[in-house]
Amino acid sequence: MTRSRRTQVAIIGAGPAGLLLSHLLHLRGIESVLLEVRSRQAVEGSVRAGVLEQGTVDLLTACGLGQRLHREGAVHQGINFRFGGQTHRIDMHKLTGGRAITVYAQQEVLRDLIQAALAAGRQVVFEAHDVRLHDLDSQQPRVTFRHAANQEELHCDFIAGCDGFHGVSRPSMPSGVIQLFERQLQIGWLGVLVDAPPSSEELIYARHERGFALVSTRTPNVQRMYVQCDPHDDLAKWPDERIWQELAARLETHDDWTLIEGKIVQKNIVCMRSFVAEPMQYSRLYLAGDAAHIVPPTGAKGLNLAVADVSVLAPALADYYETGRSELLRDYSAICLPRIWRAQRFSAWMTSVLHLLPGMDAYQSRMQLAELENVAQSTAAATNLAENYVGLPLPAEALSVPWNQLASQRGSRFS
């Protein structure tokens, strides 16, 4: 027997986009049900990077989710480029008029969002399997799924597909409705989680003839580091000793700096790809986050683009329910896509100047160095990099909403 229920917005996927959308809709008095195939433990336990743009931090703070973020997150006012044995610091704070980034792991953002959802009594269904979307052309789409051996049916007004690149939402659109722009990069990152104090107060992006390396901080006692590798490499070929040797070689510098080693507690290989779906909507189905676009991690834009998407989608849905107008919903893709393509450009540029590229010759290698020297020596070039790295201001549709006031009214503030 199928259990049937109704909500205003069905949200597929409990990643940053889905959980934040649920929270923002709650602040506007809109009911949602969020379906996630993974367990809560799996969602909260997936270790992911967490470089938050200024606009992301501002929005999370305004909507009542900033207490732990400000207490535990590390504010970075600059980043370091290392090449030719020299370190060049980009003072983002100075170049952007006081803006910065905050390092706060994605899983911590998700934990804060889940806590907020459960504290507010919002419906989050973990381990929802066999999720399928139906009647997308109608005024009342449906979502069917299986949960705890029960078959369920969810009737709704709208569906938000926030279920990532491999989710069911985008493939549920009719053939030919969207155009996919894709590029599979032959670049991989071997990421390691290390029990150690920080080697640097700010991120280090290193370009070296042996390949790219990145030093990033997670907490005062846990660090995240990356080395470029073959995207199809076997982790068994990367014992701890080899990882430390590669990091030491690629991060070598004439400066007074030391790489602090520690116990490696986790390893994984990330394969890079670029992807955009246009448009990000069909009928009453709207895509957000990785379901609609993916960028290489070099520019640290993935989570931030998901936040920007739902900061547009939530006010658009609220405008529909409060006034009956559908203009913002109609224009959702048109509002989001320019920002997405700008992030694609920036991420592609960061990737191209810092990595050992497939088939790269001596000319291309020297061009990389020339690009990096230009950033190090030109205030204009450094400013352009800083502005893109700390992030564009959120769309006007998000900035026009008094999130702080709404969060205070609903008591949606969590420590």
* DSSP collapsed to 3 states, 219-248: ECCEEEEEEEECCCCCHHHCCHHHHHHHHH
Domain total of the chain: 1
DSSP label of 174: P
For the cut 70, the answer to whether the pLDDT of residue 225 exceeds it is: yes
Cβ–Cβ < 8 Å for 48, 105: yes
Per-chain mean pLDDT for the chain: 94
For the cut 90, the answer to whether the pLDDT of residue 402 exceeds it is: no
Q: What is the per-residue pLDDT for 47?
A: 73
Q: Confidence band (pLDDT; 50, 70, 90) for 220?
A: confident
Phi, psi of 129 (to 5 degrees): -105, 165
> Which residue in 104, 301, 332, 395 is the catalytic one?
301
Q: Confidence band (pLDDT; 50, 70, 90) for 403?
A: confident
For the cut 80, the answer to whether the pLDDT of residue 49 exceeds it is: no
Of 1 and 83, the structure prediction assigns the larger pLDDT to 83
- b/e sequence 196-206, b meaning 16+ C-beta within 10 Å: bebbbebbbbb
Triad 222, 65, 109: Cα angle to 5°: 35
Classify residue 345: in a domain, yes or no: yes
> Which residue in 16, 141, 297, 315 is the catalytic one?
297
For the cut 80, the answer to whether the pLDDT of residue 388 exceeds it is: yes
Classify residue 313: in a domain, yes or no: yes
Q: What is the per-residue pLDDT for 351?
A: 97
Q: Confidence band (pLDDT; 50, 70, 90) for 219?
A: confident
For the cut 70, the answer to whether the pLDDT of residue 29 exceeds it is: yes
Q: Residue type at 322?
A: E
Q: What is the mean pLDDT of residues 6-26?
A: 97
Classify residue 263: in a domain, yes or no: no
Classify residue 291: in a domain, yes or no: yes
- pLDDT tens-digit series, residues 180-215: 999 999 999 999 999 999 999 999 999 999 999 999
Q: What is the per-residue pLDDT for 218?
A: 77
Does the active-site annotation cover 166? no
Q: What is the per-residue pLDDT for 195?
A: 95
Q: Which long-range contacts (CB under 8 A, 24 or more apart) does 349-354 make?
A: 349/299, 350/205, 350/296, 350/298, 350/299, 351/185, 351/187, 351/272, 351/296, 351/298, 351/299, 353/207, 354/205, 354/206, 354/207, 354/212, 354/298
> Which residue in 104, 282, 320, 389 is the catalytic one?
389
Q: What is the mean pLDDT of residues 358-373?
A: 96
Does the active-site annotation cover 320? no
For the cut 60, the answer to whether the pLDDT of residue 346 exceeds it is: yes
> Which residue in 26, 76, 208, 293 is the catalytic one?
76
* Percentage, residues of the chain above pLDDT 90: 89
CATH of residue 25's domain is 3.50.50.60
Classify residue 386: in a domain, yes or no: no
Classify residue 358: in a domain, yes or no: no
> Which residue in 205, 226, 282, 320 is the catalytic one?
205
Range of the domain at 50: 2-76+101-183+274-352+392-410
For the cut 60, the answer to whether the pLDDT of residue 384 exceeds it is: yes
Does the active-site annotation cover 104? no
Q: What is the per-residue pLDDT for 120?
A: 93
Classify residue 129: in a domain, yes or no: yes
Classify residue 205: in a domain, yes or no: no
